[in-house]
Amino acid sequence: MIKLKRRALIYGYGNPGREDDGLGIEMVKMVQNWIDMHKLDCMTTDSNYQLNIEDAEKISEWDIVVFVDASKDEDLHEFICSKVESSDAKVEFTMHAVSPAYVLHLSQKLFNKSPETYVMGIKGYEWDFKEGLSDCAKLNLEQGFQYLTRKLAGWALIKKNLPISMLS
């Protein structure tokens, strides 16, 4: 029996029809398989094209939230995982790009809930109208997956089934 200390939501977003923009969606699929394999209660995933205002209500129901998206940042190698602070929220110049900080801010202000929130950006390279990740993006995805699942395992109280090496 796997007992979770806190409830975690892993939320990937992006357009899988635009090559590496689907990194967030792919990560969520891999994490869900991992969750199912280890029968981790109170941990789940979700995905969408982009973050929306109603996601504020969704994340308000969880203790830990990890957003996952592709990154175009030229200075980034592989991936980055950062804590999100609502103080970083600013009005986005298009509602098409509602940020994780913005969603957290809405959750706090509208629903009085402040889940511990992170955003993971995975480096992508190709963005054409095509399904499937580039080879380099796949490598970054795997690195990110290993890191994320170690973190998730660390948030859970593991009694069996997971190797010690997976704990942070």
Contact footprint for other proteins (CB under 8 A): 13-18, 20-21, 25, 47-50, 52-54, 56-57, 69-73, 76, 89-91, 93-97, 105-106, 109-110, 119, 121, 124, 127, 129
Least Cβ distance, residue 33 to other proteins (angstroms): 17
The single-letter code of the amino acid at 133 is L
Closest to other proteins by CB, 105 vs 151, is 105
Closest to other proteins by CB, 38 vs 105, is 105
Least Cβ distance, residue 39 to other proteins (angstroms): 24
The pairing of strands 3-4 and 79-83 is unpaired
106 with 98: CB under 8 angstroms? no
Least Cβ distance, residue 62 to other proteins (angstroms): 16
The SS3 call for residue 157 is: strand
DSSP element (H, E) containing 71: strand 64-71
Closest to other proteins by CB, 14 vs 115, is 14
The four Cα atoms 96, 104, 153, 23 give a dihedral, to 10 degrees, of 10
Q: What is the C-alpha separation between 111 and 59, in angstroms, rounded? A: 10
Closest to other proteins by CB, 69 vs 156, is 69
Q: What is the C-alpha separation between 85 and 14, in angstroms, rounded? A: 21
Closest to other proteins by CB, 21 vs 151, is 21
Residue ranges of alpha helices (H) inside 60-121 are 100-111
